[in-house]
Amino acid sequence: MKKSLILTLSLIFSIPFSGLARDWYISANGKDTNPGTKEQPRRSLQKIQSKLRPGDTVFIQPGKYNQSLVLDNKGGTAAAPITLKKAGAEPVIFTVPDRKIENPEYLAAEKMYKFPAEEKVIAISAKTSADVFYLDPAASLNALKKQKSGFFYDKNEKVCYSKIRGTAKEITFSTLSKSLRWDIRSSYVILDGLTFHTCHGIAISGNNVKILNCRIENVLYGFTSGLWINGKNVSVKNTILNDVFNGIILRDAKQFSMVSSTISNTFGHGIYFVRKCDNITLKNNIIQPASGDAIYFENVPETIESDYNNMIPSKVGRLVYWAPAKKFFRTLEEYQEESGDLEEHSISERVVFENDFKLPAKHPSRNSGENSIPQGATVP
């Protein structure tokens, strides 16, 4: 009898922990009182965050979600990561609802606009007949008056003042509570096939995190980025970062890789290396900033493998800034000569993308990646 009991218990405890993993389902039409099954999905990621265990997969149904997520549980394991992924072919979009002010009040004496806002305004874009401007916050109203552009939120009056170059037809703004920050502090996490229209982007301080087949767009708040990374062994693959301030900020990042991805239309830099990063791989990417540099090195990583990319100078004519040497490189040839074997097989050919970031039929990026594969991301 004792032998039988011992044998039974040993069998129970020999079952691997990953065997306890479960699938969760999220739907924009779900209810948080539901169990989270496919037939009865939940609505909020936040309601299952603390329940996630190694090996769990969260299937997110197509639709728009005004949700943020701070993932700070123990995370997954190498054999059993936690995965959040799109369920189905249609997009899963995490977004901030647009708050638009059409024909905002203009204060002629101050040469600025004014509109009410109950909560702290953290990001503004202003549409004029000439362009769309992304405004940086000013320290005070007096400081704003001295600037050519920017905005200031007066928490006492609960109004926002903005100053732009030109005449605003429309102002779109986001507030603190709707900033939709994604913060991945856990390790062994996979985000797969998701679209983020956010103000803060995704911050990753966990290790062994994968960003696969995602789109990160409209990240407009100050000097933030589509991805802010200071974890170890973070990889980005087949992902689009578009219309963001900085594409990716790497701060003390180790073992980072980005392959077959696209960074486009950055107001700041494509990839910004801060402090001591090491063991970096960049291959088969398209990096095409609007302003700033394709790559900005505050410090050059000790180990970096970067090649087979399409790197394009910004509109101001800069390609790479090498801060230790205080050098700007405006052409790929200049950078190749300085850096040795970096970008030896890369090209520098501006891309006018077709719908949904498809490469034009005869563009060189179609066969300039390693082993003649395409550069940049296919549409996730």
Which position has the token pair 């200071």? 230
b or e along 192-206 (b: 16 or more beta carbons within 10 Å of the residue's beta carbon)?
Answer: bbbbbbbbbbbbbbb
Tell me the C-alpha distance between 362 and 356, whole Å.
17
Model confidence at 380, pLDDT cuts 50, 70, 90, reads low
Q: Please give the residue that has the higher pLDDT: either 18 or 154.
A: 154
Which residues are bridge partners to 107 per DSSP? 112
**What tokens appear for 339 in the block?**
């850096």
Averaged pLDDT, 255-268: 94
State pLDDT tens for residues 202-253: 999 999 999 999 999 876 554 568 999 999 999 999 999 998 889 999 999 9
Q: What is the pLDDT of residues 2-34, one digit of tens each?
A: 445 444 444 444 444 445 889 999 999 999 999
Domain boundaries in the chain? Answer: 25-95+180-372, 99-176
Q: Which CATH superfamily is domain 25-95+180-372 in?
A: Single-stranded right-handed beta-helix, Pectin lyase-like (2.160.20.10)
Q: Which pLDDT band holds residue 177 (cuts at 50, 70, 90)?
A: low
Query: pLDDT digit string (tens) for 191-208?
Result: 999 999 876 789 999 999
Q: Please report the pLDDT score of residue 66 as a whole number.
A: 83
Q: What pLDDT is stored for residue 178 in this prediction?
A: 53
What is the per-residue pLDDT for 26?
A: 96
Q: Which of 290, 236, 287, 234 is CA-nearest to residue 266? A: 290
Total-model pTM: 0.81
Instruction: For residue range 281-332, list pLDDT tens digits in order.
Output: 999 999 999 988 999 999 888 899 999 999 999 988 889 998 888 889 999 9
Rounded to an integer, the average pLDDT of 94-103 is: 78
